[in-house]
Amino acid sequence: MPAAGGIGPGNGKEYPGNLTPFVTVTCIVASMGGLIFGYDIGISGGVTTMAPFLQKFFPKVWEKKEADKSTNQYCQYDSQTLTMFTSSLYLAALLASVVASTVTRKLGRKLSMLFGGLLFFVGALINGFAKAVWMLIVGRLLLGFGVGFANQSVPLYLSEMAPYKYRGALNIGFQLSITVGILVANVLNYFFAKIKGGWGWRLSLGGAMVPALIITIGSLVLPDTPNSMIERGQTEEAKTKLKKIRGIDDVEEEFKDLVAASDASKLVDHPWTNLLQRKYRPHLTMAVLIPFFQQLTGINVIMFYAPVLFNTIGFGDDASLMSAVITGIVNVVATLVSIYGVDKWGRRFLFLEGGVQMLICQAVVAASIGAKFGTSGNPGELPKWYAIVVVLFICVYVAGFAWSWGPLGWLVPSEIFPLEIRSAAQSVNVSVNMLFTFAVAQVFLIMLCHLKFGLFLFFAFFVVLMSIFVYYFLPETKGIPIEEMNQVWKSHWYWSRFVEDHDHPNGGMEMSKGGLGPKNV
């Protein structure tokens, strides 16, 4: 069996530099870009369980839900229009990320964040004042464009700003703010649903203007990354900025490597076609498979539809929103665990541990829902202990995701791409993520209706698949400077056949005996 080893820290170059307060504050402000995405994921699931919202825009769903409480619980929300409301955002984000790639490369990471914030703000405004379904969909599309720009630029910005030793923790700030966004949305839904007169959903949807303002104002005050400044020809300013970011004057080695990477990237006229070259095969594989697997953990199903899911399992409207708040809190706490551990334990350990944890929980949830609901979807009276068991295992599952595939699905792709393909490859990463988020959102309710409790087993199968993939094909990237990342591929048992020494002059390395460790050459 081939060894699945990566590279430990300290084998490539070690640039001097500290974690300065300037970088910490900068990365905190930038990672707020995740709030808009998180708020949206949390809000749309909750709003779609609010009766006044359904009555106004999706009367058929409401009638079906109210007409007969005893019918098949699995199918009560099965409506294409309702699903389109939720998932139109992801289609728009997919399109936006392609445009955002060029903006991010030519105009800098900051401007991409600014566009994201402004588009999201307008979308939230339209949704808050929506009078008809078309206004809702237009608003969602604009929100999607905003998310596409933010998700393209924020992870890149964080990976480029952070000193390599702390890159994991600072980059996961993005995922943390996604989880905070989800939690805030769940709490607001809980209270807004109680507003007399049934207009609480307007506050929920319009409230998205707040995170949009945060990232818009944030992007105006943030500095640009040295990598981005060099890429746009501002070499001297970039050197000064690098000194400020690292908190030292001796940045010569890192600066030279950034300039060399930028010069190499300027020789590339078409980063998109360039991505298809053989030497970028490992990067392209990761840019496609990591976001693909991230969506097929089944997490978005839990997060989007946590209220719908709990409602379906037989909790009342109120209780189901409350359960969603509980999973939201678990999500935030577990992401903090990831921030603590990612640069200590490494990426691979978290990926594999999270996979095992999610797999066990999916099996238990499938068994317990299957035992009570059977295939008829009519559970009769649900005992309290049963509801608690389901929520408990869903929480353990959310925790497993929130310290593994959640943050690492954004971190690993953003740190492995060389500068010449970085914007294009990140765009592929975001596009694949949004495409499968869209696909899962679009077919989830139909699948729930037909696969019933087997839906959890469907996602469990993919969790097994992704854990095997990580074990054999994902090298460890902990503690390796971003411009030195190519040594990781050169010393991997499988990817080394695609990456030749002359392809990437930085960091000449080869595998030592047994394939588990590198040796310098």
Is residue 155 in some structural domain?
A: yes
Q: What is the pLDDT of residue 387?
A: 72
Is residue 166 in some structural domain?
A: yes
Residue written as token pair 């990477």: 261
- CATH number, domain of 59, equals 1.20.1250.20
Cα separation, 144 vs 90, in Å, equals 6
Is residue 48 in some structural domain?
A: yes
| Residue, of 264 and 72, whose pLDDT is higher | 264
Cα separation, 205 vs 50, in Å, equals 12
Quick one: average pLDDT of 350-372? 88
Q: What is the pLDDT of residue 297?
A: 92
Is residue 12 in some structural domain?
A: no
| Residue 402, domain extent | 21-224+268-498
Q: What is the pLDDT of residue 520?
A: 34
Quick one: average pLDDT of 277-305? 86
pTM: 0.80
Residue written as token pair 């952070």: 162
Mean pLDDT of the chain: 82
pLDDT for residue 322 is more than 80: no
Cα separation, 456 vs 448, in Å, equals 9
Cα separation, 229 vs 41, in Å, equals 33
Q: pLDDT > 70: what percent of the chain?
A: 85
**b/e code 269-290 from CB counts within 10 Å (16+ = b):** eebbebbeeebbbbbbebbbbb
- Characterize the bridge pairing of strands 509-511 and 518-520: antiparallel
Cα separation, 489 vs 118, in Å, equals 39
Three-state DSSP class for 509? strand
Comparing C-alpha atoms, which of 101, 85, 67, 374 is closest to residue 201? 85
pLDDT for residue 66 is more than 60: yes
Is residue 4 in some structural domain?
A: no
Is residue 247 in some structural domain?
A: no
Side-chain-side CA neighbours of 345 within 13 Å: the count stands at 16
Is residue 141 in some structural domain?
A: yes
pLDDT for residue 501 is more than 80: no
Q: What is the pLDDT of residue 231?
A: 81
Q: What is the pLDDT of residue 305?
A: 58
Residues 303 and 317: beta-carbon distance below 8 Å: no
Q: What is the pLDDT of residue 212?
A: 94
Comparing C-alpha atoms, which of 429, 105, 486 is closest to residue 282? 486
pLDDT band for 359, please (50, 70, 90 cuts).
very high
Quick one: average pLDDT of 363-371? 81
pLDDT for residue 284 is more than 90: yes
Residues 425 and 273: beta-carbon distance below 8 Å: no
Residue 70 CB contacts under 8 Å (≥ 6 apart), including other chains: 378
Helices marked H in 193-304:
200-206, 209-221, 226-231, 235-246, 252-266, 271-274, 281-295, 299-304
Residues 457 and 449: beta-carbon distance below 8 Å: no
Residue 320 CA to chain centroid, in angstroms? 24
Cα separation, 303 vs 331, in Å, equals 10
Residues 186 and 324: beta-carbon distance below 8 Å: yes
Total number of domains constituting the chain: 1
Encode pLDDT of 240-274 as tens digits. Answer: 888 888 888 888 888 888 888 888 777 777 778 88
Comparing C-alpha atoms, which of 262, 254, 275, 216 is closest to residue 17? 254
Encode pLDDT of 412-433 as tens digits. Answer: 988 898 878 888 888 899 899 9
pLDDT band for 518, please (50, 70, 90 cuts).
very low
pLDDT for residue 505 is more than 60: no
Cβ atoms within 10 Å, residue 107: 15
| Residue, of 451 and 59, whose pLDDT is higher | 59
Is residue 243 in some structural domain?
A: no
pLDDT band for 460, please (50, 70, 90 cuts).
very high
Helix H or strand E encompassing 225:
none
Encode pLDDT of 485-497 as tens digits. Answer: 888 999 999 999 9
Under DSSP, the state recorded for 383 is: P
pLDDT band for 396, please (50, 70, 90 cuts).
very high
pLDDT for residue 11 is more than 60: no
Residue 22 CA to chain centroid, in angstroms? 25
